[in-house]
Amino acid sequence: MSEAEWEKRVSNLLKAELKRKGVTYAGLVEKLAEIGVEEKEANIKNKLSRGKFSAVFLFQCMEAIGSQELRL
């Protein structure tokens, strides 16, 4: 699998988790702020559309939306 394919897979995984939890990008901005992470909605959209974000950002999002596990 190419790096671009991995990036798409990870991005889709986070998008699916947001959808499963019923969290919009705007809602994610609010939830991230609650745990001390400042992000703008436009930045989140860009990160998820490009699929380029750190593992730290992934874990921050998971924590913010209350997800304890990922389904690979």
CA 6 to centroid of chain Cα atoms: 15
Check pLDDT > 80 for residue 4: yes
- pLDDT band, very low/low/confident/very high, at 71 (cuts 50, 70, 90): confident
In tens, the pLDDT along 5-51 reads 999 999 999 999 999 999 999 999 999 999 999 999 999 999 999 99
Q: Residue 69: pLDDT band by 50, 70, 90 thresholds?
A: confident
Predicted pLDDT at 72:
78
Predicted pLDDT of residue 48: 95
CA distance 31 to 72: 23
Task: Provide the residue ranges of all domains of the chain, joining segments of one domain with +.
Answer: 3-65
